[in-house]
Amino acid sequence: MSSGRTVLSNNVAKDRIVSKFQQAYHADATPYQKMNFHPKVKAASSENRTGTVGLKISKAVIVGDVSVGKTCFVNRFCHDLFDRDYKATIGVDFEVEKFSILSTNFTLQIWDTAGQERFKCIAASYYRGANVVIVAFDLSDEESLNNVEKWMVDASENANDPVKFLVGNKRDLLSEAAYEDIESRAVEKANKLGAEFWAVSAKNGLNVREFFFRAVCLTYDSLLLNELESTKTVSSKQIGSNLISIQKENTDLYEAKNKQKSKCCS
Ligand SMILES: Nc1nc2c(ncn2[C@@H]2O[C@H](COP(=O)(O)OP(=O)(O)OP(=O)(O)O)[C@@H](O)[C@H]2O)c(=O)[nH]1
Ligand SMILES: [Mg+2]
C-alpha cells in the first residue's frame, strides 16, 4: 500500500472502499452479465455472515508478453507511480492490496509475472489457485494480442475457477481510429477466451482503478455466493482450521518464491 494514503481503523485505505458494484468496461465484451452484487451476498455482508471470505487472501495473477506493461499497470494501481524505463521482472513479484467491500475486509494478492521466456518456469508455478487471471497485452503491438490465447490457457490450467480478464494497456499511445481498429479484434479474442475486455493506460491511469474494483467485485461476489451455497453452516472450528492452512500456504509461497528465484534464474 502506498504511503500518504488515509488509512481507516480497519487498516483499509480510504480509496479502497467498494460500496457499489463496478460495471464492465464494455457491455458486449464480458461473460459476466451481473450488474450488482447478488442479493444473498448483500444480505450476508450487511449481517456480517461472510464466513471465511473476508479472512482469506484471494489471488490474482497477471501474465502476458514481455514489456506490455504488466508491472507498470500493477504499480499504477498499488503505488500511483509510473516508470518510463523498462525494468524486466525477474520471475515474479507481488503486491497485497486490502479492500473493504460492502464493509467486509477483502485482501487481494497480485502476482506480477515475468513475460520473458527464460522465467516461465518460475512464473508458471504461481498460477496455481488463482481466483483472478489477467492476460495483458499492448494495444499498440498486434503481436502481443496474437499471443493472448496461450497465456490464458497456461494461466487458467491450475487456477481456481478464475474470473478472467483480457487487458489492453498503453491506450495513451493510440489515436481514436487506431484504438477502434484494435478494439474490435481484442473484443473478438476476449469473447473467444471467455474473458472480460478492458482498455487501460498505466501511464495516465485511465481505467486502472475501475479495472481492479471490477476484479474484486466479481471475485468477492462469486466467492461469497459459493461459500453461502456450499456451506450453509460453517462452524468457527472449521474457519479456524481453514485459516491455519491458508496462512501456512502463504508462508510456503513466500519461501518458494525465494527458493525458485535462486534455482531458475542462475
Ligand atoms: N506509453 C505507455 N508506456 C507504458 C505503459 N505501461 C508501460 N509502459 C512502458 O512499457 C515498458 C514496459 O513496461 P513493464 O511494466 O516493465 O512491462 P512488463 O510487462 O512488466 O515486462 P516484463 O516484466 O518483462 O514481462 C516500460 O518502458 C514502460 O514505461 C503505458 O500505459 N503507456
Ligand atoms: Mg514486469
* Protein residue closest via CA to atom 6 of ligand 1: 69
Q: Which three cell numbers stand for residue 99?
A: 479492500
Ligand nearest to the CA of 169: 1
Please tell me whether the overall predicted TM-score, pTM, comes out greater than 0.95 for this model. no
Query: Ligand 1 centre and the CA of 84: distance in Å?
Result: 7
**pLDDT reported for residue 232:** 59
- Secondary structure string (H, E, C) spanning 124-176: HCCCCCCCEEEEEEECCCHHHHHCHHHHHHHHHHCCCCCEEEEEEECHHHCCH
Q: Is the CB of 89 under 6 A from ligand 1?
A: yes
Q: Is the CB of 113 under 6 A from ligand 1?
A: no
Query: Ligand 2 centre and the CA of 122: distance in Å?
Result: 14
Work out which ligand 1 atom sits closest to the CA atom of 202. Answer: 31
Q: What is the CA radius of gyration of the chain?
A: 18
- pLDDT tens digits, residue range 35-69? 999 999 999 999 998 988 877 899 999 999 999 99
Q: Give residue for cell 480478464.
A: 165
Phi–psi pair at 228, nearest 5 degrees: -65, -35
**ipTM score for this prediction:** 0.99
Instruction: Report the C-alpha gap between 31 and 235 in whole angstroms.
Output: 34
- pLDDT tens digits, residue range 201-247? 999 999 999 999 999 999 999 999 999 998 654 444 454 444 444 44
Q: Select from 3.40.50.300, 1.10.3720.10, 3.40.50.1370, 3.90.79.10 the CATH code of 14-228.
A: 3.40.50.300
Sheet holding 132-138, edge to edge: 17-18, 92-101, 104-113, 57-64, 132-138, 163-169, 196-199
Q: Is the CB of 207 under 6 A from ligand 1?
A: no
Q: Is the CB of 135 under 6 A from ligand 1?
A: no
Neighbours of 189 (CB within 10 A): 20
